[in-house]
Chain A
C-alpha cells in the first residue's frame, strides 16, 4: 500500500498515549497537531476499568485490545478529521494498526538511539526530527508514510514531547473527575 498523498499545508500528526490509574483503570488521549506541534484537536476517554472476568479471559491480549482497538479506535472515530500519521510510544497501542488504515509509528526510546545520530537508522526505522520512529512489523508499507513525514517536520522537532503533553492532559482530566470539576464538551 502506498503512503498517503498529503498536502504539506495540512499534514496532521496524531499522538496517542494512555495512562493506567492506581485502581487499574485506563484512560487514553489523542492529540492532533500540525507539523509544527501546534494543537488542532484533542480527544480523551473516560476511565475504563476491566472487570475481573475480563482480565482473566483476555489475558495478555487485554492491554492491546483495550488501549488500541477499543479506546484508540473510539478516539479516532470522534475526530473531526483524521491525522495523516499516528505516533505512539506504547507497543500495546501500536497494535491498533491492525484495525485502522492510518499509518502508525512508534517513537523509539532515546537509549535505543545510541550511536545513531550520524548513521542511517536500520530498516523499518526512520529519523523524524530528533527522534527515530519504527513501524509495526506487520505493516511494512507504513515506511513510505514515515519517510514522507520526515520531510514535513523540522530537524528540531521532538515527537516525544506531544506524548508527554497528552499524558499531562490525561492526568488533568483524571484529577478533574476526582474533584468533580465541570467538564468540557463531551462526545
Chain B
C-alpha cells in the first residue's frame, strides 16, 4: 500500500497593482534620430615595414705577387719584345714556333700536402694549367715539353722538397729550369743556388740560356776574393757552383754568414750519398726555403744513400734509421721517377750487343801468365788477403784485355777499327768509354785517321767545351774517347749514334748513364751500343755475374726498375771471380773475403 502524502491547499490568487509607466506613449512615439559626421581614416595603417636585410658579406682575398727579374732601365722596349706588366719579363719572340698544345692537355699544379692555410691552397689551385703558361707567349719555350715533362714541372712547382729521379735522358734539367722559371714568375722565389759537378757548369749555363734566357745567371768561380764577392752579390736570381767549391767557400765565409737562398738545387745529387762526407755536410748546412735534388741514380749501392738524400731534403731527421716500408712511403711523397720505356715510347731504340772477342796470341800469353802468377800470389797472402789485392789483379787482367802492354796487340782495337771504318764512311759519330785514361791516350794514337778527340780528367776544364763543340760540328771528327769519370754525367751528345764500351765499369748504372749521353731526348736515330768482352777472361766472368744479378732483380722488381737497383759487384762477387785457395794438401781451402769487407 503506497505511503500517505500530506498535502496542503495553496491559494493562487495574487494581488496585482497597476501603475502608469508612460511606456505606452513611448512606444507610439517615433524615435529621435541625430546625425553627426564621423572622421574617416585618411591613410591605411601599415604593419611594420619589411626591408631586404642581407648580412654583411665576408670575403677571402688573395693577391698574387708579381716577379721582378729584369728591372726596367727606362730604355725603350723593342717592338718585337712582349713587355708584360710593366716590363718585368722581357721575352723575345723566337722564330721557332712552338707546337700547339693538345686541346685537352691540362696539367694542373697540385696543392702540396703541407699547404694548410686557405690562401696557400688557393695560390696553387688558381694557377693555370702548365701547358697554358708555357705554350703561350708569356714564357717562350724553344721546344714543347713532352706530357710527362709537363707533369714533372707541375710537380716540382708545388714541392718544397723534391727528388726528381727520372731516368737519365728524360730532361730533368729542362723540367727543373722550367719549374724554377714559373716559381720566379709567380713571385715565390727570387734567389736560386744550383750545385752540380764541375764539368757540368757550362752545360747548365747553356741549358739555362736555352730554357730561361731572361733569367740572369752567374757561375761562382775565380779567385777567392772574386768568389766571395759573387756569393754576396745581390739581385742575381741564379748562381751556379760546383760541389768542391761549395765546401771550400762555406769554410771560407762561414756557415752563419753564408747567404741563404729561396731554392737550392743539387744536380747529380748522388754526390751527397755519403752522409759523413764534407759535401753532404756542406749541402745540408745551406739555408734555403725549398730544396730539389736531381739524380738518375738515387740508390747506387745501398738504401742508406737514399736516406742521405731524404735527410738533405728535410724529409727525415738526421741520422734516422728507416725500414724499407717507410722509405717506400717517403718515396711516394718526395720522389718522382719515370723511366724511358714508360714515357718515351717514341724515342728511337737503344740496341745493345755484346761483342765477344778472342784475345790475340800475344794477349793470350800475357793474360795467362799474369793470371797464374797473380792467383799464386793471392794464395800466398792467405788470411791477410784484402779486397784491394784481388782488385789489383782484376784491373791488371782487364788492362791486358784492352791491349798487350808489350806488343800493343789488341783484338778490341782491331774490331773497333773495323767498326769505325763503316761509321766514318757513313758520316756517323761514335763515343767510346774506358775506365783508363792511358787506354784512351793509346787509342788516340792508334786511331788517328778517324780524327778522334779526347775527353777525360787530364783535359783542362777550359778546353773541354771546345772538344765537345768540335765533336759536334766537325764532320771529320767521328770518334770521341771519354772516361767514365767525366763523360758519364750530364752531357748531351744525342747527335752520336754509336757507343762503345771498350771495357766495363763495375756498376751497370754508371754504364747506363754513359750510354744515355747519346740515347736521350733529342736523339733522332737508334743508338747502337757495343760492349767489348774478351772471351774466357775475367771480363766474361764479371759480365756473367752482373747478368745473374740483373736477372735476379728483374725477377723481384720488374723490368723498369732494374737500372735503379744495386747491381755493383760485392766483395763476395769479386773474390768469387778467382778460385782462390790457401793451404796445402788436406789443408787446402777456399779464401773468402774478410768479414770487414762483407759489410
Whether A156 pairs with B100 at a CB distance below 8 angstroms is: yes
Closest to B119 in A: A184
Q: Which B residues are in CB contact (< 8 Å) with A44?
A: 59-61
Mark the stretch among A29-37, A93-101, A141-149 that contacts chain B.
Answer: A29-37
A36 contacts which of B55, B126, B138 (Cβ < 8 Å)?
Answer: B138
Contacts A36-B137, A161-B106 given; indicate if A169 touches B126 (C-beta within 8 A). yes
B61 contacts which of A39, A41, A166, A182 (Cβ < 8 Å)?
Answer: A41
- From residue A175, how far is it (CB to closest CB) to chain B in Å? 9
Q: Which B residues are in CB contact (< 8 Å) with A36?
A: 84, 128, 132-133, 136-138
- From residue A88, how far is it (CB to closest CB) to chain B in Å? 17
Q: Which B residues are in CB contact (< 8 Å) with A42?
A: 61-62, 64, 122, 126
Interface residues of B, dominant DSSP: loop
Interface size on B, residues (CB 8 A): 41
A151 at the interface (CB under 8 A from B): no
A70 at the interface (CB under 8 A from B): yes
B135 at the interface (CB under 8 A from A): yes
B58 contacts which of A45, A168, A182 (Cβ < 8 Å)?
Answer: A45
B52 contacts which of A41, A54, A154, A165 (Cβ < 8 Å)?
Answer: A54
Closest to A46 in B: B58
Q: Which B residues are in CB contact (< 8 Å) with A37?
A: 128, 132-133, 136
Whether B138 pairs with A9 at a CB distance below 8 angstroms is: no
1/0 contact string of B60-80 vs chain A (CB within 8 Å): 111110100000000000000
> How many A-B Cβ pairs are below 8 Å?
138
A150 at the interface (CB under 8 A from B): no
Q: Which A residues are in CB contact (< 8 Å) with B117?
A: 181-184
Contacts A43-B61, A186-B58 given; indicate if A173 touches B133 (C-beta within 8 A). no
- From residue A67, how far is it (CB to closest CB) to chain B in Å? 12
Contacts A42-B62, A154-B137 given; indicate if A182 touches B128 (C-beta within 8 A). no
1/0 contact string of B84-108 vs chain A (CB within 8 Å): 1111000000000000110000100
Closest to A177 in B: B118
Contacts A53-B50, A156-B100, A172-B118 given; indicate if A184 touches B126 (C-beta within 8 A). no
B19 at the interface (CB under 8 A from A): no
Whether A70 pairs with B54 at a CB distance below 8 angstroms is: yes
Cα of A172 to Cα of B117 in the assembled complex, Å = 11
Interface size on A, residues (CB 8 A): 47
Contacts A37-B128, A165-B126, A181-B118 given; indicate if A156 touches B135 (C-beta within 8 A). yes
- From residue B303, how far is it (CB to closest CB) to chain A in Å? 36
Whether B85 pairs with A43 at a CB distance below 8 angstroms is: no
Closest to A130 in B: B103
Contacts A44-B60, A181-B116, A185-B61 given; indicate if A169 touches B86 (C-beta within 8 A). no
- From residue B8, how far is it (CB to closest CB) to chain A in Å? 79
Measured CB to CB, the residues of B under 8 A from A are: 50, 52, 54-55, 57-64, 66, 83-87, 100-101, 106, 116-122, 125-129, 132-133, 135-138, 185-186
Between-chain CB contacts (< 8 Å), 16 pairs: A9-B86, A36-B133, A38-B128, A42-B61, A43-B60, A45-B57, A58-B52, A156-B101, A156-B135, A165-B128, A181-B118, A182-B117, A183-B118, A183-B119, A184-B60, A185-B119
Q: Taking A34-B84, A41-B61, A165-B126 as given, write out 18 further A-B residue pairs in contact, using a Cβ cutoff of 8 Å, ordered by the A residue number.
A: A9-B87, A10-B86, A36-B132, A40-B66, A41-B63, A42-B126, A43-B59, A43-B60, A44-B59, A44-B61, A45-B57, A57-B50, A78-B59, A157-B132, A161-B128, A172-B122, A173-B118, A181-B116
- 7 nearest A-B residue pairs (beta carbon): A184-B119, A46-B58, A37-B128, A36-B138, A42-B62, A39-B126, A184-B118
